[in-house]
Structures are given as structure tokens and as C-alpha cells.
Structure 1
Amino acid sequence: MFSPSQWLRRALFWSGAIAVGLAAVGFAKAADQAFALFQHIVRHNSYWPFLLTPLTFALLAWLTQGALKPTRGSGIPQAIAALKLEDDAFRNSLLNLRMAIGKMGLTLAALAGGASIGREGPTVHVGAGLLYSMGRRFGFDDPAASSRFILAGSAAGLAAAFNTPLAGVVFAIEEMSGAFEHRMSGILLTAVIIAGVVSLGILGNYAYFGQFDIGLPLGRAWVAVLATGAICGLAGGLFARLIIPNEGGLRGLIGKLRKRQPVIFAAACGLALVLLSQLTETGLYGTGYDQAKSILEGHTDTVESFGLLKFCANVASYWAGIPGGIFSPALAVGAGIGANLAAFLPQANPSAVVLLGMAAYLAGVTQAPLTAAVISMELTANQQMILPIMAACLLARASSALVCRKPVYRALAETLIESREQAVAAEIREAELKLLPISDAEEAAGKAPNSGPDK
């Protein structure tokens, strides 16, 4: 028999999962509308992006300089960092309701401005924030309880965003926690199921990219597994390496430029995205969903270099420091690279190679092969490709590690944690100085006592 406290906790998980499902569905519809508005503007005048996109990037960079700084980027690193560091103030700064609302609003603004971003990472951030805030509101604010709410909210967010419940569970195990408590399994599964049911009830039983009846017979066609796993994995690792902060090299230079003039730098990134888009017929803006689906279906609307150009567009959008995820744009890059590889693999079904490219590139970026494999299978409602996709994702994970040793989300989360620890150390140091006598405090601060003018 459960205690009242246990029943309350379960009720909060259930109601929170419903809230996450509703938020994910509403966010998805709003994101489609926001990007549709941008597309309408582009159709009206193809030169408008030269003004609109850099201006939007600059505005978002300015808005995220202060209290809304935690809304930058994907949102998954924020959720991982909050899960790893049991610091109430740190968790609240990353996952409070203001951050959740700001994350959605600013991501929608970025899509309306043509940014090459996705909404799935932000949905994970929002899901973690909603459940975490609900738990705190009703007294479940001890570190262990808060961690469970964060983990369940993150998994529910991904499941509802893609309509992929199994991927939500795998994501929580592989990417978020790195471990799986036995007693947490029922709570996590329930949250994912409820969020998925909400999405299912509103949007229906759909596959994100539609259903694809394709396969890859065992034999020579499996050369495609080796090719996509190695090449897409290396490309994914390169992308991850480019967006992880570093003190030296190109990334160090980018970091210094962004820190020195964040608004101007963001505007320059927006202009770079527009210039790159001029090289294509369909553009590089938004999630890349339409282009990826078109490539999967065998259409030739996109240019042959779409994968490379979308790769650069994603880097530019992430370097700008604006809110937005990398899941959907990564799938679009993988589709483009897969289409290029299919031309050299006539023995394999082109759509099958494209699907392998999508899965392998996502696995290369995240270095989470199980999550990438399950997402790719659920997105296309395809079971025939289970073994080839898993093999390509495992190979991509190994290839990616040659370029980027640390998984991107964990590396970005560690950057957030290090920043917090440095801030806490500075606060402690400042407090210690205030407790010292004036002369000692001056000496500790590096000043000579009685440094005023001689009398």
C-alpha cells in the first residue's frame, strides 16, 4: 500500500506528463506556424532574409545576454547539467518555468527568422523544466526526487516531440542518466506513455517522416552500412567538435569573437546562413524536415551539396548562441550525405542508404547510437532496417570518437557545470574577503595596505 506521499508523487508525474505532452504538441504546431510565416515572407520577396535573419539572430543574442542566458542552445545540455549537479540554485536557474516559457518563445522567434535549428532539444528542456517545477511546487525538492522529475520530464519531452515513445526511454537511459535505477523504470515508462498518449490523441498515430517500406538485403548492399557509418560518423563528430567550446584554435577564436561582440557576431552568423541558402533552391532555413523527407522519398528538389551546406548552416546557427536544437537539422544533414553516398552504391536501395545516413550522422553527432537507431526506426515506422541501422550507428559512434572524444551533450553540460562551480568559488572568495580585517582583505585581494595618497 502506497503512502499519501507516494500517491502524490505519482499523481504529479502523471499530470506533469500530460502537461509535457500538451506543451510538446502546442510547441510543434506553433513551430510549424512560425516557420511557415518565414517561408511566406521569402516567397513574397527572396531578399527579405538578408535583413530579417541577421536582425533576428542579433535580437536573440541580445535577449539571451542576461537572465535568459540558460535558454541558449539545444536545451539538452541544460537538462543533463541540472541532473548531474545537485545544486538547488543551479537547477532552478536552468529549469524554472520562466526558462521553459522563454525557451519556447525564443525558439519560435528563431524559426520565424529562418534559423537552421530544431525544436526537439528545446522540448526536452521544457519537459524537464515543467516536471521539475511541479515537483518543487508540491514539496519534492530534495536532490534525489528532483533528479527523478528532471529525468522523466526529459524523456517525456523527447517522446512527445517526435512521437517516439521507445526513443524517449532509450534517450533517458543512454544520454540523460548514463544509468537506470530499477525503481525508476515504472515512473519513467508511465511518464513517457502518458506524454505519448497525449500526442497520439491530438495528432494521431503518425510517423515523423511517414512510413517507408524499404530494406537492405544481406550481401553486397551492406557495403552501405560501412560507408554511411564511417563517413557520416566522422562528419557528425566534426560537427560536435566545432560546437564544443575550446580555448585554442578556431573554436577559441569563435568564442572570443562571440564574447567580445555577441550581437554583431550573431548577426554575422545569420548573414552567413542567408548567403549559404542562396546556393540552394529550397534554402537551408528551419529544421530541414521537408528536404529530408523529399530526399528519403527519392525526389531531386535539393542540390547535390545540400548535406554539406546544411552542415555549415547548422554550425552558423549554433555559433550564434541562439536557442534551438540540433536533432532535426542533423537528420537533414544525414539525409543529404546519404543521398551523395547512394550515387556510389548502385547495389543498395537509395532510400535505404539515405535512412542509414540519417541514423549514422545523428549517432555521430550525439555519440548515442541506441537513441539514434531507435529514433530513426520510429520516425519511419520501418522494422526491416533494424539491423543495418544499428550496425551503422555503432560504427558511426566509433568513427565520431576519432574526431571528438567526448559526447557533445555531455561536453556542453560539463561546460555549464564548470561555469557554475567557478561562480560559486568566486562567491565564497568574496564572502571570505568581507570577513577579513580591512588590511588583510586588501592584501588578499592583491592590494598593498594604506595605498592611498600620503598625508
Structure 2
Amino acid sequence: MTAPDPGAQPPEAQDPSPPPAGKGGQRHDWRLEMRTEFSDWRTWWARAVVVAMAVTSGLVIVAFTALGEHAFHIFQDLRGMGWWFPLLWTPALAAGLVWLTRRFAPGAAGSGIPQVMAALDSGPGARGLFVSLRLSLAKIALTTGGLLAGLSIGREGPSVQIAAGVMLQARRLMPDLRRIPVHGLLVAGGAAGIAAAFNTPLAGVVFAIEELARAPEQRNSGLIITAIVLAGLVAVSVYGNATYFGIIRVAQLDLGLLLPGLVLTLLAGVAGGLFSRLLIASLRGQGRDPMSRLRCSRPVVFAAVCGLVVAVIGIVTGGATFGSGYESTRAMVEGSEVMHPAYVVFKFVATWLSTWSGVPAGIFAPSLAIGAALGNDVALLVFHTQVPALIALGMVGFLAAATQAPLTAFIIVMEMVNGHAMVLSLMSCALVASFVSRLISPPLYPTLARLQLERIPGAGDKPGA
């Protein structure tokens, strides 16, 4: 009989019962998870700061929206002084705004979306050239001034830069920036601007994924999405659960929409691509035509010339092209007004000149107005068949083509449509129109963001720059 090994362990020690398996075959100890989650107060302080700044960003955009609408109403009241008033007021104010922008806040020029993209791609030393609280305040004042001038501009692109500048202030209140990196704050702030401006939290999330987030950080993605949604909910709580342009009521769709819808999609893709290409060529400032040379040598005078042409177009169209196009688009969406077939051309030119002038301006709302007018024109050609559906397709098609952000365009317009029957149609239109646009023009915002990066001191001296 073999003697027992004195070093051997008892049977129960040799064959312990296996621990309960959790995810991945490992034991899940909820007590340990809770201790880990609540062990460091700095993590929760950082989260609280982001949430507070998200709410603040939403409130700032709501205030900016109200300020812009009030400014445009003042312009409309001033027009009552005489039909000639915009011929003096619009060019004078445009020239003044460009002078102020170039003198005090060059980083506030343009849409605002390229600046946020440039900030995401730049280092800490150059980030202040593109996004800061000072630039946010300047953007609010200058864009509001553009609406006061009656220029054909939007406030949604500027809202991105404004909200990003506000959100970026969260880093001053955090004990450890590694917990919520600056990249995450910029993405959350920029997308919160879209969510609050359009009163569509879901569109803000999609915009963050499609346009801003290059490499989403999994650890903080939930917090970033929460911040975006909170900013949108602030706008919803103020304005109510109403859409930006009202509800598009679409009747039952049939095969009669197929051919005009396809024609409209292709037209929107071509028109949006040409619009994007025209903006890129104009804002690069490398043309040899007289207007481009004037913009380079006398930018303030050039802004006055652009303002004068915009004023003339506004007078010719009875005031329809002044401002963002909100009233005209809402009238078409609600079916209370049928726009003249030439409106789409006039609005296209007025928006291009307003942006080219150098006044801080966005193109989202004017693009939706142009797209709605394009859908309205196609509806006229087919004898008013499926007018609401064609207006919706025109809006999503032109916006998707101009920005080459089809998912964001689809979500924004989808939330305006009262009827699930159009969801697939809108998505298909956005994707096809964006594809057609890519054949004509490079992506608008990434291209303009690269132009913004050239403003970094020494950028032109780098190899390949």
C-alpha cells in the first residue's frame, strides 16, 4: 500500500468547483464592478461637466436661433420703408460684416463645419484658430448680422462651430483631460449644434458619425451621444416636438412617382454637385476672372458688390430669396404657395453670392429651400402629381448632393415626413444624389477644412503643403 504524499492537497482542494461563468467565461462580480465604477470621483465629475455643457450648448443655439429670426424680421420690417431700401442696406451691411470678420475674427468666416473639422485634425497650439469661445461669440454676432442684412444664408453650419466652442470649455473644468479627450468634446459639441438647430437629436448623432468622427472612441461614445441628444432635447423642450419646416403630408405612393422621382434625384445630384464645386472654386480664391481678382484685392468692396446683387435678386423675386428661405420652404411644404419656376435659379445664385462674399454663413437651410423649389418645379412639369412627395425628395436630394452627407440629409428630412411610406424613397434619393455629386465635385466640407488648415502658421512651408 502506497503511503500518502505529505505534500498532496486534499481532494476538495485539488478539484474546486468552477466559478460561475460570466461573459467570456469569466466570473462576473457585480460588487467589484460597482466599486470600480464609483471608485474615482473624477470620472463622474467629468461626465457631469460634459452633460452640463451639452445643456448649455443647446441653450446657446436656441438663443442664437431666436436672435437670428428676430434679426431677419427686423430686416423685413425695414423693407417696408421702400422697395429700394435693400439696395442700400444689404451691400453696406455685408461690407461692414466682412471688414469686422477679417479684422477681428477671421476664424469665424465661412460655414463653421470646416473649422470644426480642421480643429479635429490640428494640434493643441492651432486649435484656437478654428474653435474657441471667442469665435463662438463672434459667429453669433456676425451670422445674425448677415440675416439682418437679408443675405441668403443659414445658421445651421454656424451652429456647429458655436456649439463646439461652448462644449470645448468643459476642458477647463475637468481635473484630467484624458478621461474625456478634446476630440470627443469637439465631436459632441459640433453635432449638438446640428441637433439643436434643426430640433432633431437623431440627426445630430448621425452627423457626428458621418462628418465629424474620424475614429470614434468606444469608451466615451455613449457619453458623447448622450451629450448630443441632450442638446437636441433642450431645443425640443423650448420649441416643442415640432419640425423645422413643418410636416410634409404624403399621400399613398404609387408607381406614378417612379419616373419623376428618378428625374428629380438626378437633377438634384447634378445641381448639388455643381453648387458644391462652385463654392469650392470660389472660396479657394484662385480664379482669374474680375470678381475673383476683386475679392483678393478689395474683399470689403467685393462683399458690397455681392450684397448689391443679392439685393437686386431679392427685389426681383418679391423678397422670396432674402434670408435662409425658411418662409418660402415652409409655404411649399404646407402647400400654401407654389413658387415661380425661376425661384430655384435665383435662390441658387443668391446663396452662392452670399457665401462667396465672406460673411459668416451656412448653407443647410438655403439648400433645403433650393431642393424644395426643385421638387416644386418637377411637380409643375408633371401637372402637380405627388407635389408633397417630390418636394421632400428635392430637399433631401439637393442637401445630400451639396454636402455629400446623405445620411444626415436623409434623417433631417425624414423627421419632417408624416408617413413611413417615404422612408426608403428618401434614403435612395439621398444616396443616389450624393453619388452623382461625387462624380462632379470633391466633398465640400473636407475640402474647405483643408483650406482652413492652411491658415496655421508655417503650414505652407511643410513638404507637400
List runs of 5+ in structure 1 lacking aligned partners: 427-455
Q: Is residue 105 of structure 2 the alignment partner of residue 105 of structure 1? A: no
40-49 or 176-185, larger mean C-alpha shift: 176-185
Which residue of the other structure, out of 370, 386, 390, is the alignment partner of 2:427? 390
- Greater mean deviation of Cα atoms: 179-188 or 261-270: 179-188
Shift of 1:145: 0.5
Task: Please say which of residues 327-336 and 238-247 is displaced more in the overlay.
Answer: 238-247
Q: For residue 319 of structure 2, what is the aligned residue in structure 1?
A: 282
For residue 64 of structure 1, the aligned residue among 76, 101, 105 is: 101
Aligned with residue 325 of structure 1, among 356, 359, 362:
362
Task: Kindly state the Cα deviation for residue 181 of structure 1 after the two structures are TM-superposed.
Answer: 3.4
Name whichever of 31-40 and 223-232 sits farther off: 223-232
Distance 2:433 2:380 in 1: 20
Rounded to whole Å, the distance in 2 between the matches of 1:17 and 1:352 is 35
SS across alignment from 1:167: helix
Q: CA deviation at 1:10?
A: 0.8
Q: Of 434, 452, 456, which residue of structure 2 is paired with 1:420?
A: 456
User: Structure 1's 419 and 258: CA in aligned 2 closer, same or farther, altered over 3 A?
Assistant: same
Q: Distance in 1 between matches of 2:396 and 2:347?
A: 16
Greater Cα offset, 28-37 or 211-220:
211-220
Q: How many residue pairs get matched?
A: 423
Match of 2:110 in 1: 73
Q: CA deviation at 1:333?
A: 0.6
How far 1:5 moved relative to its partner? 2.5
Choose the corresponding residue for 1:134, options 151, 166, 170: 170
1:124 to 160, 163, 173: 160
Other-structure match for 2:371? 334
What is the alpha-carbon distance in structure 2 between the residues aligned to residue 210 and residue 5 of structure 1? 43
After superposition, the C-alpha distances for 1:149-184 in whole angstroms (9 at most, x for unaligned) are 000001111101111111000000001124533333
TM-score, normalised relative to structure 2: 0.86
Find the counterpart in structure 2 of residue 271 from structure 1. Answer: 308
Q: Please, which of 2, 16, 29 is the counterpart of residue 66 of structure 2?
A: 29
Matches within 5 A, 1:285-304: 285-300=322-337, 302-304=339-341
The 3-state SS of whatever aligns with 1:278 is: helix
CA distance in 1, matches of 2:212, 2:92: 34
Report what 1:262 is aligned to. Answer: 299
Q: Contact 2:287/2:293 (CA < 8 Å) preserved in 1?
A: no
| Residue 91 (structure 1) aligned to one of 113, 127, 139 | 127
Aligned residue for 2:294, secondary structure, equals helix
CA gap of 1:247–1:124, structure 2 versus 1, over 3 A, is closer
Larger-Rg structure: 2
Q: Give, in angstroms, the shift of residue 83 of structure 1.
A: 1.1
Task: Note if 1:204 corresponds to 2:236.
Answer: no
Which residue is 2:222 aligned to?
186
Equivalent in the alignment of 1:430: none
Q: For the structure 1 residues 301 and 227, does the alpha-carbon distance in structure 2 shift closer, same or farther, using more than 3 Å as the test?
A: closer
Identity of aligned residues (%): 38
Aligned with 1:94: secondary structure? coil
**SS in structure 2 at match of 1:339:** helix
Matched residue, 2:400: 363
C-alpha distance in structure 1 between counterparts of 2:264 and 2:179, whole Å = 42
AA aligned to 1:226 is: L
Pairwise CA RMSD of aligned residues?
2.1
Matching residue's letter, 2:129: S
SS in 1 for 2:80: helix
| 1:308 paired to 2:338 | no
Name structure 2 gaps, 5 residues minimum.
1-36
CA contact (8 A) 1:75 1:125 kept: yes
Equivalent residues of 2:62, 2:197 under 8 A apart: yes
Partner amino acid, structure 1, of 2:319 = T
Q: Does 1:7 align with 2:47?
A: no
Name the stretch that deviates more: 134-143 or 95-104.
Answer: 134-143
2:189 to 153, 167, 176: 153
- TM-superposed CA distance for 1:203, in Å, is 1.5
Is the Cα–Cα contact under 8 Å of residues 208 and 380 in structure 1 kept in the other structure?
no
Q: Is the 8 A contact 1:282 1:301 kept in 2?
A: no
| 1:278 Cα offset (Å) | 2.2
TM-score (norm 1): 0.88
The structure 2 residue matched to 1:352, chosen from 362, 372, 389, is 389
State whether residues 226 and 395 of structure 1, in contact with CA within 8 Å, keep that contact through their aligned partners in structure 2: no
In structure 2, the CA distance between the partners of 1:182 and 1:358, relative to structure 1 (3 Å rule), is same
Counterpart Cα distance in 2 of 1:424 and 1:306: 41
Partner of 2:80: 43
Q: Say which is worse superposed, 279-288 or 351-360, in terms of deviation.
A: 279-288
Deviations 1:331-379 (A, max 9, x none): 0011111111112234841111011001100001001111100011123
Residues of 1 paired with 2:300 and 2:405: CA distance? 33
How far residue 424 of structure 1 moved from its aligned partner, in angstroms, is: 7.4
Alignment of 1:162 onto 2:198: yes
CA contact (8 A) 2:246 2:333 kept: no
Q: Which letter maps to 1:160? A: A
Distance 2:214 2:403 in 1: 14
Which moves more between the two structures, 117-126 or 224-233?
224-233
Partner Cα separation in structure 2 for residue 335 and residue 42 of structure 1: 25
Contact 1:28 1:119 in 2 (8 A): yes
Of 236, 240, 252, which residue of structure 1 is paired with 2:272?
A: 236
Q: CA deviation at 1:21?
A: 0.9
The code of the aligned residue for 1:60 comes to L
Tell me which residue corresponds to 1:16: 53
Note if contact 1:120-1:158 (Cα within 8 Å) is conserved in structure 2.
Answer: yes
Letter in 2 for 1:258: R
- What is the CA distance between 1:93 and its match in structure 2? 2.2
The 5 A counterparts of 1:434-445 are none
Contact 2:205–2:229, Cα closer than 8 Å, also in 1: no
Amino acid at match of 1:5: R
Which residue of the other structure, out of 428, 439, 443, is the alignment partner of 1:407?
443
Which secondary structure state, in structure 1, belongs to the residue aligned with residue 420 of structure 2?
Answer: coil
CA distance in 2, matches of 1:331, 1:90: 33
Change (3 A) 1:268 1:347: closer
